[in-house]
Amino acid sequence: MKTRDRVIALHKRGLSNVEIAQIVGVSRQRVWEVLRPRQDNREYATSAAVRSASKKTLEAPMSVASVSALLGVHPNTIRRWSADGSISCFRLGRRQDRRFEPQSVMELMRRNESRDS
């Protein structure tokens, strides 16, 4: 598997750029270059990682940042909801980063929609 493909696959799993760089054996800068959008070609306006991740959104665990962007709230709000049990998560890696199953995020969105109605 090519380095680019490995970087994208690890990114879809929700790993940070530092973790990806250590696993693949490249610099953080190289990981960033692989994942950033290309400016020179409209076809590649969104990065390959974002395009492929959008297809697999319902399968890969989500990070605090991606859940907060999806729900439109601050990342600390997601952490607080996780701590008080409003949304379930699991911990990953040495830093014990939170990861969320897409099903639990969708369930939270449904609960919020029904509460707002």
Query: What pLDDT digit, counting tens, does each position of 82-94 carry?
Result: 999 989 999 988 9
Query: What pLDDT digit, counting tens, does each position of 7-63 carry?
Result: 988 988 888 888 999 999 999 888 888 888 665 544 444 444 445 545 555 578 899
Residue range(s) in the chain whose domain bears CATH number 1.10.1660: 62-116
Enter the pTM of the model.
Answer: 0.49
Secondary structure class of 74 (helix, strand, coil)? coil
Check: CB of residue 12 under 8 Å from CB of residue 2. no
- Cβ-based neighbour number of residue 44 at 10 Å: 12
Looking at domain 62-116, which CATH architecture does it have?
A: Orthogonal Bundle (1.10)
Query: What is the structure's pLDDT at 115?
Result: 72
Q: Which residues contact 23 (CB under 8 A, 6 or more apart)?
A: 6, 10, 15
Check: CB of residue 12 under 8 Å from CB of residue 4. no
